[in-house]
Amino acid sequence: MVSDELQKIEGRMQASVSGLRKELATLRTGRATPALVEHIRVDYAGVPTPLNQIAGISVSEASLLIIQPWDKGSIREIEKAILKSELGFNPTNDGNVVRISIPPLSEERRQELIRVVRKRIEERKVTVRNFRHEVMNDLKGMEKNKEISEDEHKRALGQLQKLTDAHIAEIDQAGRDKEKELLEA
């Protein structure tokens, strides 16, 4: 029963870490990568659709993204969606493809992005700690209802703390990696 609870919470913690990594991949460095724009929602036939579901996204140079829509009629909507996003890109199109030139980051923009990274890191740490708190309360209830012994409760709390520490360390490492990437770009 306790191990089921710990496995379930470990899955939730791992999902939080994975979500953070995906989120950080969308933050712009100085290099072009499809992850920068694939999450952008485009109004396609009246339905907000992720860009990667209506177009092919490729990198032709270190600082140039090429977006080739499968339906040429959606080029205008793709351009609008990119302009509306908070990424600050200025797309151009030739009627067949949309090109996005990735300008180098200014020092001011780098610092702003680092603040965003740190904020997202802290939010994920809070999420992981909240997961820990939920399980701690569940374990306390199990002990109170005599479903587990006091020793099992203490052992489970120790395992829970190890899980939490490991996932917080992963979150910190993801943040350090992204900050390093932002400073190098």
For residue 85, the tally of other CB atoms under 10 A from its CB is: 16
Q: Residue 34 and residue 66: Cα distance in Å, rounded?
A: 9
Structure tokens at 69: 């829509």
**In this predicted model, what pLDDT tens digit does every residue of 6-62 receive, in sequence order?**
899 999 999 999 999 988 887 766 677 888 888 888 888 888 888 888 889 888 887
Residue range 75-88, pLDDT digits in tens: 888 888 888 887 77
H or E element: which one contains 69?
Answer: strand 64-69
The gap between the terminal CA atoms of the chain, to the nearest Å, is: 48
Residues 49, 54, 55, CA angle at the centre, nearest 5°? 135
Beta bridge partners of 44: 47
Confidence of residue 140 (pLDDT cuts 50, 70, 90): very high
Amino acid identity of 27? L
- Residue from 33, 58, 59 nearest 185 by CA: 33
* CA–CA gap between residue 177 and residue 46 (Å, rounded): 38
Set out the domains of the chain in order of their start, with CATH numbers.
2-25+106-184 (1.10.132.20), 34-101 (3.30.1360.40)
Tens digit of pLDDT for each residue in 151-169? 999 999 999 999 999 999 9
- Whether the Cβ atoms of residue 156 and residue 148 lie closer than 8 Å to each other: yes
